[in-house]
Amino acid sequence: MERDRVEERTIGQLLSQIFRLGENRMRVKMARSGLHRAQVFALHYLLHHDGITQTELARAIHITPATATSMLRRMERDGWIERRDDPSDQRVSRVFVTGKARAFHEEAMASLREVEGELEEALTDAECRELRRLLSKIHARLVAQLPLRRQRRFGWGIATEDETEDA
């Protein structure tokens, strides 16, 4: 009986529900920090790309520049980041993480690993590998259907014609 109901759900419905449930687990774990999901992603990205522009950050974490500006304003107010004018172009603002963010990073990564472990507990090692392979296949298919200029946002290292022309 339960099997019939599961098979009635589309892949998209299942992925959406799994994403929301996983996101909720992270929200609960991150509640003490006062950061929401996009801010955690922004901090993680900044820890590896400290000093990038607000526009580059927005593009990297898939939010609009306006959303990035308001999010960064709150993060700066709360001591997570510092924004500085670019020395060569005063119209450009660069984003840097603070010591508070660096200290928090280890805690956040531990929480991410814990949630990932909870997700993987439902599967064997072989099933985890197969699920990653299948999801990567779907991801590549969906990315390939995007216009070339947008593939870079979702392609995780896929070189586009724009990038090869610039090289």
pLDDT value of residue 153: 67
Cα separation of 162 and 79, whole Å?
A: 37
Is residue 128 domain-shared with residue 117, that is, in the same domain? no
Q: Is residue 95 part of a domain?
A: yes
Is residue 85 domain-shared with residue 27, that is, in the same domain? yes
For residues 131-149, one letter each, b for 16 or more C-beta atoms within 10 angstroms of the residue's C-beta and e for the rest, the string is eeeeeeeeeeeebeeeeee
Rounded average pLDDT over 56-68: 90
Domain range for 140: 124-158
**Total domains in the fold of the chain:** 2
Q: Is residue 23 part of a domain?
A: yes
Q: Is residue 2 part of a domain?
A: no
Q: Is residue 165 part of a domain?
A: no
Q: Is residue 133 part of a domain?
A: yes
Whole-number average pLDDT of the chain: 84
- Percent of the chain clearing pLDDT 70 (strictly above): 87
Is residue 68 domain-shared with residue 23, that is, in the same domain? yes
Is residue 113 domain-shared with residue 129, that is, in the same domain? no
Q: Please say if the pLDDT value at position 67 is more than 50.
A: yes
Q: Is residue 109 part of a domain?
A: yes
Asked whether the beta carbons of 55 and 65 are under 8 A apart, the reply is yes
Q: Is residue 163 part of a domain?
A: no
